[in-house]
Amino acid sequence: MKFWNENDIQAIYHMSDAINDIETLFTNMNAITQTQRMVISTGTGAKSMLYMPCIHKDKQIGIIKITSITPENPQLGLPTTQANIIITDIKTGKHLASLDASYLTRLRTGALSGIAPKYMSNSNSQSLGMIGTGGMAYEQFLGNIEVRNIQNVYLYNRSRDKAEHFKRQLQQAHPNLDITVTNNVQTLVQKSDIINCQTQSTSPVFEAKDIQDGTHINGIGSYRPDMKEMDNQLFPRASHVVFDDIEGVKEEAGEFIEPHEKGIFKFEEIDGDLKSIVSKKQLLRQSCEAITIFKCVGAAHFDLAVAIGAYEKLNKTPQS
Amino acid sequence: MKFWNENDIQAIYHMSDAINDIETLFTNMNAITQTQRMVISTGTGAKSMLYMPCIHKDKQIGIIKITSITPENPQLGLPTTQANIIITDIKTGKHLASLDASYLTRLRTGALSGIAPKYMSNSNSQSLGMIGTGGMAYEQFLGNIEVRNIQNVYLYNRSRDKAEHFKRQLQQAHPNLDITVTNNVQTLVQKSDIINCQTQSTSPVFEAKDIQDGTHINGIGSYRPDMKEMDNQLFPRASHVVFDDIEGVKEEAGEFIEPHEKGIFKFEEIDGDLKSIVSKKQLLRQSCEAITIFKCVGAAHFDLAVAIGAYEKLNKTPQS
């Protein structure tokens, strides 16, 4: 059995790999077997443990991702989410590897936030507004700049200091970008061709009225029924709504569960899942003015795609 | 994260530890949270993947055991069952260790086959009959000799060569034991104070009429509804029947499901689970003549007990 930590994986497996591997998996979903994820509430500290197994029958590889969620960790300088993936060869039954999966989880979530605008946003989108600059934000940024020629980035965070810190991180890695921190969400929303929300918010993080025609919005917060980033009034204006995993959204995403219950939004009205959009290989939107929304909650097969991809690359690299 | 292989664990964690740790866990079952195990059928090679998570709230430790079952592996000289355990600190959410759990699984199953006769068999039991000498047999032997002063061991296997090989293994480690390989199950059954069955059989491996008064029987095969080691006619003669996990037996153990359906045996008639027997801290049997039966199918909390026990010992040992 081999063991790879976050640094090993970050050195060799990048956003372009993750986007490519997830898109490739979408073309062969019949090979996938997965169960509903298991959750154990632990009460204190790590409030819950999540277990997400998934099998790729063609590649003869099985994985399980084991995730702890410890909401108070950031106060101690530790990450909220800590994940590990075990990879098993289902031909021989041998357990092949243990991968630190915290980076892989951020990366696959960022990859989904790249794949969605690749097929949904205006192809000339140049400005990206990011609401929330916490632990998931960097790979969200990477996903967007991978698929669109972004020139301007607007950052908003409840704590401005954190947004400024994030700006320095981005600027160092991408000196040609024009990056602005703002206290004014309205300005951010009005100026952004793509808006990417990654907060723990329980109430809308922007007002629907401020959204300009032609905007694409990615939402990756609201992964619990009590959480909400998008304003209910946005949905009647949206030409297209796409989910990464409809069953997951119905169970977890408060920002869709609540308007569905109120009759403002109907799950039956979505334009399918990300897989079906990708398989059409063309831009979903019919006009430059369309407002499009992608909602992401995650699923085990996305972890499978990046775990196999990373494993295959790591396995070709001599270990130090 | 630390990684320990089978040799690391075998060097430091033994049958006496496993028996002690499982008995200790039985006194504090309120601290345990576990879900039903998840199974994914994979079709070829590893026919199924099993996922068994369990949390110890007092120790603030969570584990998941990931097991592959590859029935055709023995033909390739590989084990049928290959297991790995991930240990997580549920206070900080940190994944602490990966343990090769193949030995730990055999050991905890052997420990259960020790704890049962400790509280159920006649305390002067001297002879042990083992039916089946495959991959699980050695730790089954260890469990029994840990709790009773065994002098004579009788071995039966469908392939006599394997039984002879197993005899040499036992004799080398325990030169004072009198060990006999037999082709005659009837003789084995008649001469043994304790009978331990560990086969993949789908039909009874002995006849009930041959069982002598006073015998204790452990059954660890029959872990699928189509499997059966014990003769239906045995149950009406048994004074006490104890399970390790009643829900598991009802779902998996063909040798009890079938007689229950036929009305020969009723699940309502069992004398409780192993935990309740241990908690009484006294011999269950009322007479030397009683026939007693223990049926074992396994459960995640047994894995938890030995994983925590091994982890605590390994963690105190300097790593080479």
CA distance B315 to chain A (A): 18
A88/B68 CB distance under 8 A? yes
Query: From A78, which residue of chain B is nearest by alpha-carbon distance?
Result: B92
Residue B114 lies in a domain: no
CA distance B268 to chain A (A): 30
Give residue-wise pLDDT tens across range B127-158: 999 999 998 999 999 999 999 999 999 999 99
Does residue A76 register a pLDDT over 70?
yes
Nearest-angstrom CA–CA distance, A297 and A107: 14
Looking at the structure, tell me whether residues A275 and A307 fall in a common domain: no
B53/A55 CB distance under 8 A? no
Residue A109 lies in a domain: no
Looking at the structure, tell me whether residues A129 and A232 fall in a common domain: yes
A vs B: CB pairs below 8 A: 156
Give residue-wise pLDDT tens across range A160-193: 999 999 999 999 999 999 999 999 999 999 999 9
Partners of residue B98 in chain A, C-beta under 8 Å? 1, 3, 86, 98
- What pLDDT score was predicted for residue A46? 63
Domain count, chain B: 2
Which of B254, B253, B217 lies closest to B237, judged by CA? B217
Whichever domain contains A19, its CATH number is 3.30.1780.10
Contact A284, A255 (CB under 8 A): no
B91/A45 CB distance under 8 A? yes
Give residue-wise pLDDT tens across range B26-65: 999 999 999 888 999 887 666 899 999 999 999 999 999 9
B259 at the A interface (CB within 8 A)? Answer: no
Contact A289, A214 (CB under 8 A): yes
Task: Mutate one of A33, A90, A100 to test the B interface: name it (highest B CB count within 10 A).
Answer: A90
ipTM at complex level = 0.88
Looking at the structure, tell me whether residues A31 and A100 fall in a common domain: yes
A45/B100 CB distance under 8 A? no
Partners of residue A38 in chain B, C-beta under 8 Å? 35, 38, 51, 53
B309 at the A interface (CB within 8 A)? Answer: no
Q: What is the mean pLDDT of residues A208-213?
A: 97
Looking at the structure, tell me whether residues A55 and A163 fall in a common domain: no
The residue range of the domain holding A49 is: 2-104+301-316
Partners of residue A73 in chain B, C-beta under 8 Å? 92-93
Residue B231 lies in a domain: yes
Nearest-angstrom CA–CA distance, B103 and B106: 5
Does residue A274 register a pLDDT over 60?
yes
- What pLDDT score was predicted for residue A45? 63
Partners of residue B95 in chain A, C-beta under 8 Å? 66, 68, 82, 84, 100
Query: From B31, which residue of chain A is nearest by alpha-carbon distance?
Result: A42
Partners of residue B44 in chain A, C-beta under 8 Å? 57, 60, 90-91
Q: What is the three-class DSSP state of A93?
A: coil
Query: In chain A, what percentage of residues exceed pLDDT 70?
Result: 98
Whichever domain contains B283, its CATH number is 3.40.50.720
B33/A44 CB distance under 8 A? no
Looking at the structure, tell me whether residues A286 and A149 fall in a common domain: yes
- What pLDDT score was predicted for residue B46? 63
B66/A88 CB distance under 8 A? yes
Looking at the structure, tell me whether residues B81 and B130 fall in a common domain: no
Give residue-wise pLDDT tens across range B170-195: 999 999 999 999 999 999 999 999 99
Contact A311, A96 (CB under 8 A): yes
Burial environment of residue A7 by CB neighbours within 10 A (0 to 12, 13 to 18, 19 or more) = exposed
- Which residues are paired to A241 by β-bridges? A293
* Unique residue bearing structure tokens 């269950």: B284
Please say whether the dihedral angle defined by the alpha carbons of residues B16, B18, B21 and B26, taken in this order, is positive or negative.
negative
Model confidence at A74, in pLDDT bands (50, 70, 90)? confident
* Angle between the N-to-C axes of helices A102-120 and A137-147, in degrees from 0 to 180, rounded to the nearest 10: 40
Partners of residue A91 in chain B, C-beta under 8 Å? 44-46
Residue B110 lies in a domain: no
Looking at the structure, tell me whether residues A305 and A293 fall in a common domain: no
* Unique residue bearing structure tokens 């329980």: A202
Looking at the structure, tell me whether residues A241 and A310 fall in a common domain: no
Residue B186 lies in a domain: yes
The type of residue at A92 is T
Looking at the structure, tell me whether residues B275 and B307 fall in a common domain: no
Residue A258 lies in a domain: yes
CA distance B204 to chain A (A): 29
The type of residue at A219 is G
Look up residue A190 and give its two tokens: 């009005």
Q: What is the three-class DSSP state of B267?
A: helix
* Half-sphere exposure (Cβ direction) of B302: Cα atoms closer than 13 Å: 22
Which one of A34, A38, A84 has the shortest CB-CB distance to B86? A84
As a whole number, the mean pLDDT across chain A is: 95
Does residue B20 register a pLDDT over 80?
yes
- What pLDDT score was predicted for residue A75? 86
Out of A51-55, A103-107, A242-246, B34-38, pick the least confident.
B34-38
Residue A238 lies in a domain: yes
- What pLDDT score was predicted for residue A116? 98
Q: Order of strands across the sheet with B152-156?
A: B178-181, B152-156, B127-131, B194-197, B216-219, B292-295, B240-243
Q: Order of strands across the sheet with A152-156?
A: A178-181, A152-156, A127-131, A194-197, A216-219, A292-295, A240-243
Give residue-wise pLDDT tens across range B229-258: 999 999 999 999 999 999 999 999 999 999
A33/B51 CB distance under 8 A? no
A71 at the B interface (CB within 8 A)? Answer: no
- What pLDDT score was predicted for residue B319? 58
Q: What is the three-class DSSP state of B313?
A: helix
Task: Mutate one of A48, A57, A98 to test the B interface: name it (highest B CB count within 10 A).
Answer: A98
Q: What is the three-class DSSP state of B288?
A: coil
Looking at the structure, tell me whether residues A154 and A12 fall in a common domain: no
The type of residue at B272 is G
Task: Mutate one of B6, B30, B51, B87 to test the A interface: name it (highest A CB count within 10 A).
Answer: B51
Q: What is the mean pLDDT of residues B273-287?
A: 94
Looking at the structure, tell me whether residues A99 and A124 fall in a common domain: no
A230 at the B interface (CB within 8 A)? Answer: no
Q: Which B residues 84-113 touch A at CB under 8 Å?
A: 84, 86, 88-95, 98, 100
B5/A3 CB distance under 8 A? no
Look up residue A254 and give its two tokens: 């408060």
Partners of residue A41 in chain B, C-beta under 8 Å? 33
Which of A111, A159, A106, A108 lies closest to A131, judged by CA? A159
B49/A90 CB distance under 8 A? yes
Angle, CA A229 vertex, CA A244 and CA A202 arms, to 5°:
120
Which one of A69, A80, A93 has the shortest CB-CB distance to B68? A93
Give residue-wise pLDDT tens across range A10-35: 999 999 999 999 999 999 999 999 98
- What pLDDT score was predicted for residue A37? 87
Query: In chain B, what percentage of residues exceed pLDDT 70?
Result: 98
A55 at the B interface (CB within 8 A)? Answer: yes
Which one of A88, A89, A98 has the shortest CB-CB distance to B98? A98
DSSP string, B195-258: EEE----SS-SS-GGGPPTT-EEEE----STT---S-GGGGGG-SEEEES-HHHHHHH-HHHHH
- What pLDDT score was predicted for residue A175? 97
Nearest-angstrom CA–CA distance, B55 and B3: 20
Residue B112 lies in a domain: no
CA distance B90 to chain A (A): 5
As a whole number, the mean pLDDT across chain B is: 95
Partners of residue A100 in chain B, C-beta under 8 Å? 1, 95
Contact B257, B235 (CB under 8 A): no
Looking at the structure, tell me whether residues B292 and B306 fall in a common domain: no
Does residue A319 register a pLDDT over 80?
no
Nearest-angstrom CA–CA distance, A314 and A87: 13
Look up residue A119 and give its two tokens: 């097929």
* DSSP 8-state assignment for residue B3: E
B149 at the A interface (CB within 8 A)? Answer: no
- What pLDDT score was predicted for residue A219? 98
Contact B267, B260 (CB under 8 A): yes
Out of A218-222, B63-67, B267-271, pick the least confident.
B267-271
Which one of B5, B38, B73 has the shortest CB-CB distance to A35? B38
Query: From B36, which residue of chain A is nearest by alpha-carbon distance?
Result: A38
